[in-house]
Amino acid sequence: MTITNEEMIVDIKSLDEKGAGRASVWRENEKGNPKKLRLTVPQVLPGEKVRVTVDKPERRRRRAKLEEIIETHSERTAPPCPHFDKCGGCVWQHWDYIGQLQQKTSHVKGAIEAQGFNPDLVQDTIGMDEPWRYRNKMEFTFSPEGELGLHEQGNFRKIISLETCLIAGKEMVEAAMEVAIWAKEHQLKGYNKDLHEGLLRHLMVRQSFVTGEMMLALFATEAPTGELEEAVNNLIRRVEDKFPQVKSLMWLENTDWADRTQSEKSHVLAGRDFIYDEMDGYRFRLWFDTFFQTNPTQAQKLVDLAVEMGEPKKTEKMIDLFCGVGTFSLPFASKVEKLAGIEIVESSIESAKRNALDNGLTNTYFLAKDARKGIDEVLESFGRPELLLLDPPRSGAGGKVMRRIGRSQPERIVYVSCNPDTFATDIKELVPFGYRLEKVQPVDLFPHTVHVECVALMSRVKGMTNKNCLK
């Protein structure tokens, strides 16, 4: 007989990679043999004792529903967002912010220690004075019924309709809610991922905290013509009347089955197809698909730390690997003799070139190529750089790229990471090439989530062995 539900009292021992609690219970199976049931419990903290309901507990791993907190962690706090219980946008609003920062520091220390490095090289995580309203970009999703919101925790098929969002800029949320009202009034259906039908898929909102310019980008399965013209014209009037800071109102056709904010054809409904943003005194053009740091306050700290650790000099050459649109390239270019940026995404390279030109920088060279092959091409014409910076995606740079960096022998390597685990495995590849880890500084760009960024410095030391680099 299959048991469908069972209540249990469990102790939360640790957290998983998504920020949920881990617990385990020994129980007898149908044959009377002991069997460990591993549970994932959302919205709990390490050390808490909780009562949960488990669906189908005869299985080895289950997600449990939190029913009651019996013993409470001293750092537990009341989440301020009315959607926190269901929305998957944040996972740690119930945790005091100081506790979140300590957990992130521990994560980074654990990651590098697992690869043999000294955890004492990791500094305390730099947090925010005000860890709310920090995001300058949000991607909302329409439900099949036309409701606008974010995915439910642990369920990418269900959309939680939102009235607010406390991690996004206030004006961004107001504009998004106006689009939600517009969609309802015109009875526009959202996209059904199972049936692959419906009109509205996503709404991207991004706003510069410096210039104030905002972009609204609607992703839909049809062109904004024919029967949609009346509704679209109404949207344009609403936005122009209520949100003059919107300098780019876009309608982006996307018929692909993949659930991504991509476009097959773009329509500018009002304004231009990009907005201006600024960082570190440099101006950037941002299109709907431009990667740009989503927390500008903390991103500035990343740039400052990278410059401080890298110590760029006017007599030096530099490579910026995974350079994107030049977020780090531009501040460094003004401090070195010449800089080469490498990025596989061609549109980002075109943006980097334009951004350098807009800011009067003439000592940059940007190459659209795979990282490993790009290094080879740059070294041929550029020579060995004294300084190399890399800012790879969450998957890391990978062993082949890191070994190629090691063979190129820059004097100093600054690694900007958004994933401590892949960062740690990447930098271990540099040890045989004579590099020593000097310092790791975590920075919290995403309060109330599990994510943490790092800036680290590795220096080349002549005659150094593997033993000198590790613990």
Q: What's the CA gap between 427 and 68, in Å, rounded?
A: 43
Tokens found for residue 56: 């189908």
Tokens found for residue 342: 């490498």
Structural domains in the chain, CATH included, are: 5-74 (2.40.50.140), 102-129+294-469 (3.40.50.150), 137-279 (2.40.50.1070)
Other Cβ atoms closer than 10 A to 18: 13
pLDDT digits (tens, 9 = 90+) for 241-274: 999 999 999 999 999 877 778 888 999 999 999 9
pLDDT at 382: 87
- Confidence check: pLDDT of 287 > 70: yes
Q: What's the CA gap between 54 and 147, in Å, rounded?
A: 30
Least confident of 25-29, 328-332, 380-384: 25-29
- Confidence check: pLDDT of 467 > 60: no
Q: What are phi and psi of 358, to 5 degrees?
A: -60, -30
Q: What's the CA gap between 405 and 379, in Å, rounded?
A: 11
Q: What's the CA gap between 311 and 296, in Å, rounded?
A: 22
pLDDT digits (tens, 9 = 90+) for 70-107: 999 999 999 999 999 899 889 999 999 999 999 999 99
pLDDT at 256: 85
Percent of the chain at pLDDT > 90 equals 85
Q: What are phi and psi of 168, to 5 degrees?
A: -100, 155
pLDDT digits (tens, 9 = 90+) for 313-327: 999 999 999 999 999
Of 452, 406, 398, 446, which is closest to residue 422 (Cα–Cα)? 398
Q: What's the CA gap between 423 and 309, in Å, rounded?
A: 17
Catalytic residue among 81, 87, 323, 418: 418
- Confidence check: pLDDT of 468 > 60: no
Q: What's the CA gap between 288 and 315, in Å, rounded?
A: 37
Given a contact cutoff of 8 angstroms between Cβ atoms, the answer to whether 132 and 448 are in contact is: no
Tokens found for residue 357: 């030109």
DSSP per-residue letters across 284-326: EEE-TT----S-HHHHHHHHHHHHHHH---TT-EEEEET-TTT
Q: Which amino acid is at 363?
A: N
Q: Which amino acid is at 315?
A: T
Active site residue 469: no
Q: What's the CA gap between 231 and 250, in Å, rounded?
A: 14
Residue 462: pLDDT band by 50, 70, 90 thresholds?
confident
pLDDT at 27: 79
- Confidence check: pLDDT of 2 > 50: no
Other Cβ atoms closer than 10 A to 109: 19
pLDDT at 17: 92
- Confidence check: pLDDT of 454 > 80: yes
Please state whether the predicted TM-score (pTM) of the whole model is above 0.85: yes
Q: What's the CA gap between 355 and 131, in Å, rounded?
A: 29
Is 464 exposed, middle or buried (CB count within 10 Å of its CB: 0-12, 13-18, 19+)? middle
- Confidence check: pLDDT of 137 > 90: yes
Given a contact cutoff of 8 angstroms between Cβ atoms, the answer to whether 356 and 376 are in contact is: no
Helix (H) or strand (E) holding 112: helix 97-114
Least confident of 57-71, 111-125, 197-211, 292-306: 57-71
Q: Which amino acid is at 180?
A: A
Of 420, 419, 394, 391, which is closest to residue 405 (Cα–Cα)? 391
pLDDT at 57: 65
pLDDT: is 145 or 30 the higher one? 145
